[in-house]
Amino acid sequence: MKLPELKIGHLVSRLPIVQGGMGVGISMSGLASAVANAGGIGVIAGAMAGITEKDVATNGLAANCRALTREIQTAREKSRGIIGVNIMVALTHFAELVKTAIAEKIDIIFAGAGLPLDLPGFLKKGDRTRLVPIVSSARAAALICKRWFQRYRYLPDAFVVEGPKAGGHLGFKVDQLDDPRYCLENLVAEVVAAMETVRAEHGVTIPVIAAGGIYDGDDIRRFLEMGASGVQMGTRFVATHECDADPAFKQSYVDARKEDLTVIQSPVGLPGRALKNGFLTDVAAGIRRPFRCPYHCIKTCDPEKSPYCIGMALAQARRGKLTSGFAFAGANAFRVNEIVSVKELMDALASGYEEATA
């Protein structure tokens, strides 16, 4: 059985695979366009999109919006496929980045790290951008549907349901990460059931996309059979030639062992899954590094209480300087053993799905 298409509004993706948005320069136009060309949905990360701009520390709003515009346009030049952007609700310049993406006629906006309750308000008549919230519970999905319909007569075009095995910032408490009640299988089943209620009430089918810890074709099979319409994957796409990070960043995934995966308390106030290294060991030991806040990128970050600037740490890691930063990674990062092309990865996922469904 071949992988089915994924339909989000008027958009039809040949493969039901969404590349997760990875901020601070990890998934930009290079990776997103390659995924789109391979039949999936490529995603540019809006978080610190302007990290390489010379004025990002002095004029963050202009730098990030300028860079996001350039990356969207570059991805369009490289691909005719579906291109989305991931814009975290917690970003200081969330509204301005959303407006920028819509002005550039981006296909999809994925919005998580908070509830994007006002997102449809940015659309104007004639805009074709699809809106996809990222949630970690059926309760959040139901609330967004209710609020969007009440205020805007608009329902989400899809939902990404992200479980506790994802990399980066997590929408769970630390004691929930290993609690079976919060496993992705349960979350997806609950959101699928909630969307059935929405379909019965409004006559609209809202696709559910499973995310967090999905690694191979058999994982894709399991979640599609549970009622999901697609999957989102981030970690697997880091270890590709087209990923926009430095080769040393990618190699850290290849070299990772299971015991290297750790959960940290991020300066933004959320737990996050990352690869353990000397930088994080120093932070855990209470070694406070000289710190100033040049970016003001996240609303919830308190520089007075933070032991380091997460923007600077992730930016250094992206450049391959892992002694001055760290890499976020999903729970299955230790299973990565080589760097391949995006096309090779997508082909392997498709063939793995076919084998799993044979």
Please count the other Cβ atoms lying within 10 Å of the Cβ belonging to residue 104: 18
- CB environment 245-257: b (16+ within 10 A), e (fewer): bbeebbebbeebe
Q: Are 53 and 294 in contact (CB under 8 A)?
A: no
Spatial distance between the Cα atoms of 204 and 239, rounded to a whole number of angstroms: 37
Please count the other Cβ atoms lying within 10 Å of the Cβ belonging to residue 139: 12
> Which pLDDT score is estimated for 147?
97
Could you tell me the CA-to-CA distances from 63 to 47, 71, 241 in Å, in that order?
Answer: 12, 12, 26
Spatial distance between the Cα atoms of 111 and 153, rounded to a whole number of angstroms: 19
> Which pLDDT score is estimated for 286?
78
> Which pLDDT score is estimated for 49?
83
Nearest Cα to Cα of residue 293 among 122, 80, 26, 56? 56
Q: How far apart are the first and last CA of the chain?
A: 7
Spatial distance between the Cα atoms of 279 and 326, rounded to a whole number of angstroms: 7
Nearest Cα to Cα of residue 263 among 252, 271, 253, 255? 271
Residues 6+ apart with CB under 8 A from 153: none
Nearest Cα to Cα of residue 131 among 147, 116, 142? 116
Q: How many CA atoms lie within 13 A of 38 on its CB side?
A: 27
Strand partners of residue 44: 85
> Which pLDDT score is estimated for 296?
64
Alpha-helical (H) ranges within 156-233 are 184-202, 217-225
Residue 7's φ and ψ, nearest 5 degrees, are: -110, 125
Q: Which domains does the chain have, with CATH numbers?
A: 6-246+338-357 (3.20.20.70), 248-318 (no CATH)
Tens digit of pLDDT per residue, the chain (358 long)?
Answer: 899 999 999 999 999 999 999 988 899 999 999 999 999 999 999 988 888 888 888 888 888 999 999 999 999 999 999 999 999 988 888 999 999 999 999 999 999 888 999 999 999 999 999 999 999 999 999 999 999 999 999 999 999 999 999 999 888 889 899 999 999 999 999 999 999 999 999 999 999 999 999 999 999 999 999 999 999 999 999 999 999 999 999 999 999 999 999 998 887 777 899 999 998 988 888 776 656 666 565 666 566 667 777 777 888 888 899 988 899 999 999 999 999 999 999 999 999 999 999 9
> Which pLDDT score is estimated for 300?
65
Q: Residue 74: exposed, middle, or buried by beta-carbon count in 10 A (0-12, 13-18, 19+)?
A: middle
Q: What is the pTM of this model?
A: 0.93
